[in-house]
Amino acid sequence: MKNVFTLALLRQTMLISIPYILAALGGTLSELGGVVNIALEGLIVMGAFIAVLVSHWTGNAWLGLTAGLAAGALLASLHALLSLRFRADQIISGLAINILAVGVSRFLLKIIFHSSSNSTRVESVPAWLLIALTMILIIVVHAVVYYTPFGLRLRAVGEHPECADTLGVSVNRLRIWGVILSGLLASLGGAWLAFDQHQFTVGMSGGRGYIALTAMIFGKWTPLGATAAALLFGFAEATQIQLQSVGVDIPTQLIQMIPYVLTIVVLAGFIGRATPPAADGRPYPEE
């Protein structure tokens, strides 16, 4: 087993954890404000596809990254519009956006790249810059949530929207910003995936948005807790890859189950009861 737990495993853990961390931070901001965001998976997909598409058209990875973030913000705005303006069920809205993102990306992939599986290869933003940006964002999100008026108000509208409203806080405006910020963070995770592979591939998100939601719950709706949980899931996936590469005497099927078994164990409440914000998923004003 000494060939498994190496420095290479730690590096692989970090690389794998980046999209989990970013999407989990995004989900935390959205749900602290009171909006359930199942759409993280779709935001990752759209961020990845648009980043590659614009990079392909312009030959500039930075423009691709910017476009990917803009696409994530727009798609998140759609979720906010459906959930807050039209009072659609937030879970159904999120699932619909996931389906929309997958469908649109596959449709455009076929038209633009003439492939049903992957795009052409594109230039990438330096990986170390995106890693450094992620580390900075972890600190920034934590500081914003707990040490700024915006964070205080965001948590207030997620816990006691009625009280926040009586103090002159615009509940739905704060919630919209929480959802948009979640879109920016999750789509950045998607752009990381695409640039890491230098292309967009169908199915490349691999359920990362849903695992990020699990990390958010595991972390009890706190930025640092969500980050730690995302690192744990990244470690489980990296361990699975390392075990397969060194050829340990364990059935491949059991090795591949590691990340998913861990997810089920966490969701089953292994860490104790995780209580979401009191008004999470509850529209305001209530009918």
Model confidence pLDDT, tens digit, residues 142-175: 999 999 999 999 999 999 999 999 999 999 999 9
Rg (CA), the chain: 19
Is it the case that residue 257 has pLDDT exceeding 50? yes
Lowest-confidence range among 218-227, 242-251, 256-265?
242-251
CA–CA distance, 6 with 3 (Å, rounded to integer): 6
**Position 208 confidence tier, pLDDT thresholds 50, 70, 90:** very high
pLDDT number for residue 287:
47
Q: Is position 122 within any domain?
A: yes
Boundaries of domain holding 70: 20-206
In-domain check, residue 140? yes
Q: Which two tokens stand for residue 94?
A: 């999120």
Q: Does some domain include residue 272?
A: no
Q: Is residue 246 part of a domain?
A: no
Compute the average pLDDT of residues 24-48. 97
102 within some domain: yes
7 CB neighbour count, 10 Å cutoff: 7
Domain-located, residue 4: no
Is the preceding omega at residue 285 within 30 degrees of 0, hence cis? yes
pTM beyond 0.75, yes or no: yes
- Domain count of the fold of the chain: 1
For residues 178 and 32, the answer to whether their CB atoms sit within 8 Å is: yes
Domain assignment present for residue 216? The answer is no
Q: Is residue 9 part of a domain?
A: no
